[in-house]
Chain A
């Protein structure tokens, strides 16, 4: 959302942000530029024809994944849709397996079986990476259900785009979340466009999309995504509501993507003006704004920021080399990871025919 007004409140003063050390703040910057450099590198190799399928870039939205996931603790879980690279890196996945997955290599996070839209790291409480619009919203509900069932104090951050708010599965999820009092935070990353259709042409709403939560008697808030402090402050409130009161929240975070819905989006510069994209890059870019803020706060210098950016670029370049040099999966591996029981060679996995080739 490009015309989001500058915040009237200074969220840097909220308790959760005051607890940040200088190193923490620099780390948030590092994570945002790592995502940006990863995405730029992915785009370069995608355009060279090194990857198949789609590439949904996160460039412009970095503050959302980084700000929200920086609040996660041991029992907090993350699940998102297909624009998932930012979340994957923010939860702590390394660039190499992520890039290799995009290249379809056996060293990829999912051994080349998932691709760009399906990055997973359950060991980091990251449950994908899902390709169908809003298909992940009931799954996020289930992660929250699991936490509550096991009586763990945690929550699930479930991300979706502004186009997903019109899917039935999302509405069913909101009803269940409120009805069962589940610790889930739905985060609508509103970049203004569901593929090529603007918010005004795709959604009917009164003031904003997040407000739909009211119909389900659920708390909601609207967040200016260009301000990392605001993202953290407001998400923290929602996460605490989930953890402490087991109540869901809908957050709508205004953000923007510089590239098309995917790189294959032929009309990326037709359904919006070049001026609109330029204006966001110049005045609302979350990475640039955070960098400026940290320089103003004397947390680091321009020179130090540049060094972090260079390091991120080096890391991304190296991940592309790693991916390129990695072997492709074998044809035999097509039949791995279909059934737990056959993978683990159990009695059940050896009883009856599971695969029907030839």
Chain B
């Protein structure tokens, strides 16, 4: 199968959806003439023009609210946050208007928007630019959240998100933009990945590593070391989608291996990992041979120092350390 960079898989998804539906509009800061802060949208403005690919001023509350309003009239805005960390200046629009407008209107309105952009630490940009808010937004009923780890998944999930009739927040990762992976050729048909479907990225029998986003790649790396050096055969379950969540896949893998470690780049307090842990104890308690463990970002604001930044994140060393406490 042909290989694509993660950023090019996103671009291909956007390009295909712009071609499929004339109501799809890309909006964001520097996405058009500048070709995107991370070159994700490179060439799309040149191809589709000013009506379909729109540069906005640095006014996240203004342009995101504008996209929400336009979506109520049937436009399908796909809006980029240069960093998901900038969600805080548009929070009212993201959680009060996008998440609630359908409910408050008794189902009379709907809000088919997509918000996308990178949400990750690990690039030495300090605490203000390193937030991982997938758990935060998944906590608002009315919103959907996904966090794809591979080029194929990001393409398929983004296309699904654009076609979905609810607001979908896609959390990417600047450290994944340059990674490569197989992506089905468009000639073979539409490549769609459903929301709410997890994916087993490594089959194993001894312990389940449950992760999303870049943590999936780090879990896979840890799994290889654990196999080679400790003879522990880990299964790696990639959640892909946070809300809706593939609860059955989580329960199935735990029932198979009887041990689970959740790997989650967001903070431990009330994060995605807390929710998964709760579900496991509730639905697979009798199948557990050990307590559920978590490897999250260390519980402090993201540190700048490139010397130790990776130690704050769930890296393979920290994953292995946790696995060895229960396996």
The answer to the question of B231 belonging to the interface, with a C-beta cut-off of 8 Å to chain A, is no
State whether A353 and B62 are in contact (beta carbons under 8 Å apart), knowing that A139-B68, A143-B72, A145-B69 are contacts in the complex: no
| A105: min CB distance to chain B, Å | 11
State whether A176 and B108 are in contact (beta carbons under 8 Å apart), knowing that A127-B72, A145-B70, A352-B244 are contacts in the complex: no
State whether A343 and B59 are in contact (beta carbons under 8 Å apart), knowing that A142-B72, A147-B73 are contacts in the complex: no
Is there contact, CB below 8 Å, between B107 and A336?
yes
In the complex, the chain B residue whose C-beta lies closest to that of A335 is: B141
Other-chain contact of A340, B59, B61, B110, B246 (Cβ < 8 Å): B110
Is there contact, CB below 8 Å, between B243 and A173?
no
In the complex, the chain B residue whose C-beta lies closest to that of A123 is: B108
In the complex, the chain B residue whose C-beta lies closest to that of A158 is: B69
In the complex, the chain B residue whose C-beta lies closest to that of A138 is: B65
Other-chain contact of A354, B59, B64, B106, B244 (Cβ < 8 Å): B244
The answer to the question of B197 belonging to the interface, with a C-beta cut-off of 8 Å to chain A, is yes
A139–B23 alpha-carbon span in the complex (Å): 17
A339–B165 alpha-carbon span in the complex (Å): 8
A196–B12 alpha-carbon span in the complex (Å): 53
In the complex, the chain B residue whose C-beta lies closest to that of A79 is: B69
Other-chain contact of A130, B97, B103, B141, B196 (Cβ < 8 Å): B97
A28–B77 alpha-carbon span in the complex (Å): 38
Write out the residue numbers on chain B whose beta carbons fall within 8 Å of the beta carbon of A176: 56-57, 59, 62-63, 66
Is there contact, CB below 8 Å, between A343 and B107?
yes
Is there contact, CB below 8 Å, between B107 and A114?
no
Per-position contact with B for A81-113: 1 when CB-CB < 8 Å, else 0?
A: 000000000000000000000000000111111
State whether A120 and B65 are in contact (beta carbons under 8 Å apart), knowing that A127-B72, A138-B93, A351-B244 are contacts in the complex: no
A42–B122 alpha-carbon span in the complex (Å): 56
Is there contact, CB below 8 Å, between B66 and A356?
no
The answer to the question of A217 belonging to the interface, with a C-beta cut-off of 8 Å to chain B, is no
A354–B63 alpha-carbon span in the complex (Å): 28
| B60: min CB distance to chain A, Å | 8
Is there contact, CB below 8 Å, between B164 and A141?
no
The answer to the question of A9 belonging to the interface, with a C-beta cut-off of 8 Å to chain B, is no
The answer to the question of B2 belonging to the interface, with a C-beta cut-off of 8 Å to chain A, is no
Other-chain contact of A356, B69, B70, B275 (Cβ < 8 Å): B275
Is there contact, CB below 8 Å, between A108 and B106?
yes
A79–B282 alpha-carbon span in the complex (Å): 45
A138–B62 alpha-carbon span in the complex (Å): 5
Other-chain contact of B103, A129, A144, A337 (Cβ < 8 Å): A337
Is there contact, CB below 8 Å, between B62 and A339?
no
State whether A352 and B164 are in contact (beta carbons under 8 Å apart), knowing that A122-B109, A338-B141 are contacts in the complex: no
| B270: min CB distance to chain A, Å | 13
| A260: min CB distance to chain B, Å | 23
State whether A121 and B108 are in contact (beta carbons under 8 Å apart), knowing that A142-B70, A355-B141 are contacts in the complex: yes
State whether A173 and B62 are in contact (beta carbons under 8 Å apart), knowing that A143-B70, A146-B75 are contacts in the complex: yes
Other-chain contact of B97, A110, A135, A352, A358 (Cβ < 8 Å): A135
Is there contact, CB below 8 Å, between B109 and A348?
no
Most buried by A among B23, B112, B166: B166
The answer to the question of B105 belonging to the interface, with a C-beta cut-off of 8 Å to chain A, is yes
| A138: min CB distance to chain B, Å | 2
The answer to the question of B136 belonging to the interface, with a C-beta cut-off of 8 Å to chain A, is no
Is there contact, CB below 8 Å, between A340 and B71?
no
State whether A338 and B103 are in contact (beta carbons under 8 Å apart), knowing that A122-B109, A179-B57, A352-B195 are contacts in the complex: yes
The answer to the question of B142 belonging to the interface, with a C-beta cut-off of 8 Å to chain A, is yes
Per-position contact with B for A316-356: 1 when CB-CB < 8 Å, else 0?
A: 00000000000000000000111111011001100111111
Per-position contact with A for B94-110: 1 when CB-CB < 8 Å, else 0?
A: 00110001111111111
Most buried by A among B23, B62, B75, B107: B62
A90–B302 alpha-carbon span in the complex (Å): 52
| B22: min CB distance to chain A, Å | 10
A220–B120 alpha-carbon span in the complex (Å): 44
In the complex, the chain B residue whose C-beta lies closest to that of A144 is: B69
A144–B70 alpha-carbon span in the complex (Å): 7
A341–B107 alpha-carbon span in the complex (Å): 11
In the complex, the chain A residue whose C-beta lies closest to that of B64 is: A138
Chain A residues in the interface with B (C-beta under 8 A): 77, 79, 108-114, 118, 120-123, 127-132, 135, 137-147, 149-150, 168-169, 172-173, 175-176, 179, 336-341, 343-344, 347-348, 351-356, 358
- The 3 tightest CB contacts between A and B, nearest first, are A352-B196, A142-B69, A138-B65
Write 13 A-B pairs (CB below 8 A) sorted by A numbering: A114-B105, A127-B69, A135-B97, A142-B71, A143-B69, A146-B69, A146-B70, A172-B57, A339-B166, A340-B110, A341-B166, A347-B194, A352-B246
